[in-house]
Structure 1
Amino acid sequence: MTHPSASRFRPAVAALLLLSLAACQNEPAAPAEGRFVRVVTVEAGKLANEIQLSGEIQAEKNVGLAFRIGGRVTERPVNVGDRVAVGQIVARLDPTLERNALTAAKAALEAARGEVNTTRSTFERQERLMAQGFTTRPRFDQALKAQEAAQAQLENAEAQLELAQDRLGFTELRAGVAGTVTARNVEPGEVVQPGQAVAQLARDDGRDAVFNIPANLLEKKSGETTVRVALADAPAVTALGRVREIAPQADPVTRTFAVRVGLIDPPEAMRLGSTVVGTIEAATAAIIAIPASALAQQGVSPAVWIVDPANSTVSLRNVDVLRFDPSQVIVSQGLAPGEIVVSGGIQMLLPGQRVRQLPAPTAAGRTAAASQAAGRPAVPPS
């Protein structure tokens, strides 16, 4: 049942509404203003990923020590792990045969010298007689040839003496460089052949960190990649190095490539055989990072709103996302450095809509926002 007084007020209310609508139609339309949004300018960068690999410390150069002559080993005063200096004796051979050969060479030299003196005296006498006409040409020539043969024998005896002295010296194997003995291959009493390795020496003039790396991680240019190497049991002990050598062929079992990294001034704690961890920073091609709040969607593809600086209008553009991070999105394609992207207020945007950029927050504004986020009242500046 309707109240009688309500029926009397309905015509008056309707009249007031009609007058209000007519007044609104007669007023001029307000100019369209842009929607306030927050924007960021696109900047190019590189995405770095750290790759860690395990390896070991090895000598940059290894030297095999061997005798130049064969014989029986009588002494080997060094063992694995010993440090040797330049000229230090590593092993000795039995010198009996070489000493006897040296004695025989000395005797042959003395005999050759005596023969030279004899033939020289004979030739000088024949030369005087030839000048006086008291000898024949054949005897003179014979004395000359005998002197030349004796001189040749003397030179041969001198060479044999030097050879015998050298062979006696070869019975002592000395280190030509300083280093550490990493292997011994013979024991005293064994008979060795010339050139047979007696010991292995790791030189002190360089250290390498050796890693086994899959083919997809190999750098195309050796020497340009910097590797940070740290001891596995003491990460604070570090050294920098550069790729020095890459094996041309993969290991037949592991299918990995041995990569040698030359260390730059490695600390003493990085001893041979130590386990190390190498860290390589692998940078991708140029990428772009934008705030996560800037990411929109167009159909099933991710997209962003691009601001046209000429007329302050926006348009939606598809992008390829490489990676999602908590606070940002890594875009691989779709954006160019210098473009303006809407980072805040994308919910109500339409293609072609005019926008206005919000001013950058001041220090006081950031403080107030932080206080409100923490639940504290903002304190106005004095």
Structure 2
Amino acid sequence: MRWRRPGLLLALSMVAPLALAGCNRTPEEPAPQIRPVRTIVTEQRSTGDSVSLTGHVEAKNEASYGFRIGGRLVERLVNVGDHVAPGQVLARLDPANEQNELRSAHAAVTAAQSQLGLARNDYQRQRQLHDRGFAARAVYERAEQALKAAESGLEDAQARLKLAQDRLDFTELRADAAGTVTARRAEPGEVVGAGQPIVQVARKDGRDAVFDVPAQLLQQTASDPTVIVSLASDPAVTAKGRVREVAPQADPVTRTFAVRVGLIDPPEAMRLGTTVIGRVSLDSGPVIEIPASALTRADGEPAVWVVDPDKKTVSLRRIEVLRFTPSSVEVYGGLQADELVVTAGVQALHPGQEVRLLGTQP
């Protein structure tokens, strides 16, 4: 046994390095996987879609009438729906105070006229005496100043009379144009302030159709579109219109913009307050339609996988979507015509991955 032990140790020392070398061998990497995908070739087309919105008819110009002075409302002569003519009395205030002021102003004018007559006679007498040398110059100058003061006093009294007459006229509220009463803001017996609205009148100088339009739709519509407006209750009654005004700020609740469409020769059936439907063509420009299955996301934004036709690799590209449908997506930015877009197998792809085209649809 003694002579066999050194040989055994020598054999073990030769086998151990070979075993360790076998443990450190690096396994070979598997060949990259080529995934089969289906694709389409993108094509551009122009859209001719139209959109319909529901709105209502309003007057082109509405005026809220109020008194120029305050007082107690004793009479309102019109109600909602009444037609008014220019100069027609709409309401009246209690005129007692203004009538008293007018009588006082008349009396002041009469007194000022009498004072002026006395001052004029005295001035003429003093001037004759002064010219003959029988009156001192100081007396003559005092008479002249008294005449000027009397003339100014008469002018002041006449101005106050005009103001009193105007205030009496202001107790009657009159229409300045033809129209239709759309609202009443005060009732007889109320004490109203100057400028407080009493009635609201829609003037007969045009009608507008008013719609609440989303911001995205405003961007897709032409700058000066022709809007076809029809009655919701009778689509056969129609009128053409042009966008006259777009609200500068969105509604804080609905986030839509109020758009006023001026109606061109509207029919009589389109009365104020009636519900109408407006139709307008969209101007979205050229778009590319792809299947909904091609859509994925990149950093929370819509994206698609695009195939490099030479390298047969894919890259992720963000797109701008015009609208979604259950089966397709209309793209207006991010894609060009004649590009290969993956439509099936998008969930298992990563950037730079090599793919094999199963079939390309036109």
Q: Same fold (TM over 0.5)?
A: yes
- The aligned counterpart of 2:144 is 144
Matched ranges for 1:335-346 at <5 A: none
- Partner letter of residue 174 of structure 1? R
Q: Mark the runs of 5 or more structure 1 residues left unpaired by the alignment.
A: 1-43, 289-299, 302-321, 324-329, 336-382
- The aligned counterpart of 1:107 is 107
> Which deviations, in whole Å up to 9, do the C-alpha atoms of 1:213-270 show, x marking residues without a partner?
1110114888611111001010001011111111111111111111111111111111
Q: Is the 8 A contact 1:222 1:243 kept in 2?
A: no
- The aligned counterpart of 2:55 is 55
- The aligned counterpart of 1:246 is 246
Pair 1:147–1:184, CA change in 2 (3 A): same
Deviation at 1:274, TM superposition (A): 0.6
**How far apart, CA to CA, are the structure 2 residues paired with 1:106 and 1:277?**
61
Deviation at 1:93, TM superposition (A): 0.8
- The aligned counterpart of 1:164 is 164
> Which deviations, in whole Å up to 9, do the C-alpha atoms of 1:176-224 show, x marking residues without a partner?
1111111111111111111111111111111111111111011488861
Q: Is the 8 A contact 2:221 2:284 kept in 1?
A: no
Q: Is the 8 A contact 1:123 1:140 kept in 2?
A: yes
- The aligned counterpart of 1:89 is 89
> Which deviations, in whole Å up to 9, do the C-alpha atoms of 1:123-172 show, x marking residues without a partner?
11110111111111111111011000000010111111111111111111
Q: Is the 8 A contact 2:229 2:277 kept in 1?
A: yes
> Which deviations, in whole Å up to 9, do the C-alpha atoms of 1:25-57 show, x marking residues without a partner?
xxxxxxxxxxxxxxxxxxx98431010011111
SS at match of 1:224: coil
- The aligned counterpart of 1:37 is none
- The aligned counterpart of 1:203 is 203
SS at match of 1:183: strand
Q: Is the 8 A contact 1:223 1:242 kept in 2?
A: no
Q: Is the 8 A contact 2:109 2:158 kept in 1?
A: yes
- The aligned counterpart of 2:64 is 64
Q: Is the 8 A contact 1:77 1:90 kept in 2?
A: yes
Deviation at 1:284, TM superposition (A): 3.4
1:231 aligns with 2:234: no
- Partner letter of residue 51 of structure 2? I
1:120 aligns with 2:120: yes
- Partner letter of residue 246 of structure 1? V
Could you tell me the percent identity over the aligned residues? 55
**How far apart, CA to CA, are the structure 2 residues paired with 1:218 and 1:205?**
27
**How far apart, CA to CA, are the structure 2 residues paired with 1:66 and 1:334?**
63
Q: Is the 8 A contact 1:52 1:279 kept in 2?
A: yes
- The aligned counterpart of 2:342 is none
Q: Is the 8 A contact 2:221 2:282 kept in 1?
A: no
**How far apart, CA to CA, are the structure 2 residues paired with 1:253 and 1:80?**
29
The alignment of Structure 1 onto Structure 2 pairs a total of residues equal to 257
> Which deviations, in whole Å up to 9, do the C-alpha atoms of 1:43-72 show, x marking residues without a partner?
x98431010011111111110101011111
SS at match of 2:163: helix
**How far apart, CA to CA, are the structure 1 residues paired with 2:136 and 2:122?**
14
Q: Is the 8 A contact 2:220 2:282 kept in 1?
A: no
**How far apart, CA to CA, are the structure 2 residues paired with 1:77 and 1:285?**
56
- The aligned counterpart of 1:186 is 186
SS at match of 1:218: helix
- The aligned counterpart of 1:364 is none
SS at match of 1:266: coil
Stretches of 4+ moved more than 6 A in 1? 220-223
- The aligned counterpart of 1:29 is none
- Partner letter of residue 120 of structure 1? R
**How far apart, CA to CA, are the structure 2 residues paired with 1:331 and 1:124?**
98
- Partner letter of residue 53 of structure 2? L
**How far apart, CA to CA, are the structure 1 residues paired with 2:65 and 2:121?**
51
Deviation at 1:334, TM superposition (A): 3.9
Deviation at 1:285, TM superposition (A): 2.1
SS at match of 1:270: coil
SS at match of 2:49: strand
- The aligned counterpart of 1:356 is none
> Which deviations, in whole Å up to 9, do the C-alpha atoms of 1:57-96 show, x marking residues without a partner?
1111110101011111111010111111111110001111
**How far apart, CA to CA, are the structure 2 residues paired with 1:262 and 1:220?**
20
Q: Is the 8 A contact 2:123 2:147 kept in 1?
A: yes
Matched ranges for 1:1-382 at <5 A: 46-219=46-219, 224-286=224-286, 334=337
SS at match of 1:150: helix
**How far apart, CA to CA, are the structure 1 residues paired with 2:100 and 2:117?**
26
Q: Is the 8 A contact 1:179 1:204 kept in 2?
A: yes
SS at match of 1:104: helix
SS at match of 2:103: helix
Q: Is the 8 A contact 2:120 2:147 kept in 1?
A: yes
- Partner letter of residue 205 of structure 2? D
Deviation at 1:116, TM superposition (A): 0.5
